[in-house]
Chain A
Amino acid sequence: MSPTVGAPRLFVRKTSGLIRTIGVGGALVFGVHCISLSSSGILTFYSVPGLWPGANILVVLTLAAVLCAMHAYTFSQIGAAAPRAGADYTLASRTLTPWLAFPASFALVLFSGLVAGSLIAWIPTVALPALLRASGVLYNAAWATSLADFSASTTGILVFGTVGVLITLVTLFYPTRTVVRMMGIGFVLGLVAWAVILFAFGTGSEQSFQSGWNQSVPSLPYDQVIPTAESNGMVLDTSFGNTAIAGLIMGFWIFYGYYIPTFFAGEVKEAPRTLLSGAWGSLAVTWAIFTGGVLLFTRFVPQDWMAAQGYLFINGVEGANPFVTFYASVLQPNVLLFLLMAVGFIYTLINLAQTYFFYASRIMFAWAFDRVVPEWIAEVHPETGSPRNAVMTIAVLAELGVLASAFFSVLFVQLNFVFYAAITMTVPIVAAIVYPYRKRQLWETGAGHVRAMIFGLPSMTVVGIGTLAFILLLVASPFIWPAVGFGEQQGAAVAVFVSIIIVGLVIFAVARWYRQREEGLDIMATFAEIPPA
């Protein structure tokens, strides 16, 4: 035992802004919101089995959670090393070069906006049809079934998706406190929806599900689901390799968002611990909810049947309804429980879009601070404090995401985003790997786990290399595995990405030229190290 046990560790005088933490609970809630109980719930029950027939969903979720925990560790270190809005961009631009960091950040924000739109498009594509079809079946309402068909059509997605974008935009014009309260309500509604789902699965049985299904979907009886999928070309691959690959790719998309709390940390020396606990906590909570749901459901429905449902829906076969809310309503055809699920899922999808709007606008703020984009981007409304210009910019991108979802598919947009998000993340991750060496002095005074060591090396470097390997695999995945590929649009997707990077480079070059010519300032100085006198 140390002879100084009981000694005071720090003498503090009365000064403003003394260090406080926001608490792990706060970071955890935000992380869960960013992961999204609704969209990720849909992915777990529909996309994973549908895209990777035969993959073990429980293993996929677990493997993904472990890999994402590594990624979360790296990003919590990035947030702790650069505790401010746009931490990834800030760290990369100072550690590497803004010529790399800005285009990468620009691409991430652009695609975050598009994905926000695709998430909103999930409402008319999945949430509303599931609600309306179930209503049609349960209450013999033909209008509801017709409306469900319209909702899922190209026109319906455009109409309802645009309305969703406008609702999201209008909500973000309100003061932050109001928006955050909306998100808080959404968190509760999301949990309630999942409580209903888990209750339905927990009280369900093989017999009740099969009879409920056959009554709800007479066009595709329970026993015909797997044979129909096989006749449509589904091949079950139960190998571990298939599951591992699904875990790497789909798992990342399911849990994407756990690292977003990185973007809030002020003058908080406990932030590193808070950020890491929040990110890991949100991973653990969502993993528990989703695996709990799968465990309960697969007590009486085989995973092969879930895979067939997903496969048939992806291939546009009528009667396929691979949605967790629909499964639950088949088991519990109760209007109140049904509404709780529907409202929870639709509301939290809007919440999820709001978080994308939030973090994308924060990154834009970081660009504006560095004078790379016009100041008006970072202007806030004098009364509400809402960053309206930034939010409207994201809304335009979100509308493009709705269009892409309508004319391609929601999944197409989102799988594209896995590629784009991953490839843009390589820049801050490389920055994190080299940070202890390129910014030695700052690293040495870093807080908490920024300075942690593994095998005598900085953990920022060691874990960063592991994270980079994971991310590079995600980047390569669309080119290697057709299930998550770009399909016929592979060339176009790569061309779009390259174009965006070029546009980012041009914006930076023009900004630099303009500031120098008009203001007599070289913005490269913003990113330069200043050695002490």
Chain B
Amino acid sequence: MPLFFKRSDTPGSGFLRIIQAADFHGSTMAWRKFMAAAKQHQAQHAIVSGDLTGKAIVPIIRTGDRWEGWLFGHREVAETEAELAAFKAKIERVGFYDHVCELDEAKALDADKDRLHALFVEKMNERLQSWLQFAGEYLEPLGIPLWVIPGNDDDLSVDPILNAAEYARNVDHQVVEIDEHHELVSMGDTSMTPWECPRDYPESHMRVAVRDLVEKIRNPTGAIFNFHCPPFNTKIDQAPALKPNLEIEHEAGQVMMTSAGSPAIRRAVEEVQPLLSLHGHIHEARGVQKLGRTVALNPGSEYAEGIMKAAVVNLEPARVKGYMLISG
């Protein structure tokens, strides 16, 4: 590297470096890349802003001495244990879960919602546990604390798993000091979505929940909001507008966008004016928006492509020194 670009970006000399990401949705590849990025970027804190669990299970049908399944429209056939393992790894990489079963069981699961939900809970929690264990083993020697919250897509059954983690700390609905200048204010609840997810709430709930949290802040100047849901009517809450049948609305070939954030969160950001406001939830709305003095960030997500997206932020006691949206 030429001398002109001599590195001068080592944290610790007057600023704190955090790394934040959200919306992993079961992608082990994205999760492991986040861990690696925390190390690579010399982060002093790693923050996860919700939506950890995957959305789908790929049934792998066993027929005689071979296995068949479908992934993104591609029929995959495995004829050896090695090929099966490779297929499973591919499924895990994009954030889905696999379930090896006979044809009859697959059909039975398809017909029984409760049984399918139980299978989802089992798969989600199993993977989450392994993630948290890995994070502890990887980050603890580096001295990087891991702050985690669930997101609206995370079933309530993940809470005990997060709470029981040995290294990661579930800070949902909490205000915690991460150093002498900065408090982390976290919440995974979101405004209602058309899908009525486990942690979707009406705005009346959001107002109360956010108010209860901000009342606990001692030093707003150095506060860091860590809300899964972004503030309403910003660049970082723009999602495709949906028709009543959940199809994307478009005109003249353009996808129509709408705000999917929370007015309560926007109001809190504008009133409290924290140093930084970290979000996720709307995968397409990667970006940054200044709201007064507050830098609001959404790193976006491309978990299904196996791409990890994150924000790296350098913080002074009362100023965001710099930020960068990374992906890899």
Contacts and interface: CB of A to CB of B under 8 A. Distances in A.
A521 B103 contact: no
Contact of B195 (A18, A21, A442, A447): A18
Contact of A445 (B7, B9, B93): B93
Interface in B269-306: 281-284, 286-288, 290, 300-302, 304-306
A353 interface: no
B197 A26 contact: no
A334 interface: no
B324 interface: yes
A183 B195 contact: no
A31 interface: yes
A493 B7 CA distance: 38
A92 to B, nearest CB: 14
A522 B7 contact: yes
Interface in B245-262: 246-248, 250-257
B116 interface: yes
A526 B240 contact: no
Contacts of A84: 284, 286, 300, 302
A184 B254 CA distance: 9
Contact of B59 (A8, A29, A81): A8
Interface string A273-295: 10000100000000000000000
B314 A2 contact: no
Interface residues of B, number: 101
Given A2-B68, A10-B57, A10-B58, A520 B322 contact: yes
A16 interface: yes
A417 B84 CA distance: 51
A393 B273 CA distance: 31
A28 interface: yes
A375 B242 CA distance: 29
Question: Which one of B11, B197, B306, B324 has the highest number of Cβ atoms from chain A below 10 Å of its Cβ?
Answer: B324
A23 B33 CA distance: 33
B106 interface: yes
Contacts of A15: 25, 55, 153, 195, 197
A: interface residue count bin: 35 or more
Interface stretch (B37-45, B180-188, B203-211): B37-45
A143 B277 CA distance: 62
B178 interface: no
Interface string B43-76: 0000000000001111101011000111011110
B36 A530 contact: yes
Interface string A509-533: 0001101111111110110111111
A247 B316 CA distance: 59
A522 B9 contact: yes
Contact of B103 (A4, A181, A380, A520): A4
A20 interface: yes
A532 B32 contact: yes
Contacts of A83: 302, 305
Nearest to B153: A15
A437 B181 CA distance: 46
Given A20-B246, A442-B305, A14 B197 contact: yes
Contacts of B11: 520
6 contacts: A9-B69, A11-B120, A15-B55, A16-B197, A27-B253, A385-B257
Given A519-B314, A522-B7, A530-B308, 13 more contacts: A2-B75, A16-B193, A17-B195, A22-B255, A29-B253, A83-B305, A94-B328, A180-B256, A266-B255, A266-B283, A447-B304, A513-B4, A516-B8
Interface of B: 4-5, 7-11, 15, 17, 25, 29, 32-33, 35-37, 39-41, 55-59, 61, 63-64, 68-70, 72-75, 90, 93-94, 96, 99, 103, 106-107, 109-110, 116-117, 119-120, 134, 138, 152-153, 193-197, 200, 233, 235, 238-240, 242, 246-248, 250-257, 281-284, 286-288, 290, 300-302, 304-308, 312, 314, 321-328
**What are the 7 A-B residue pairs with the smallest beta carbon separation, nearest first?**
A519-B322, A30-B253, A530-B328, A532-B32, A184-B252, A9-B70, A29-B253
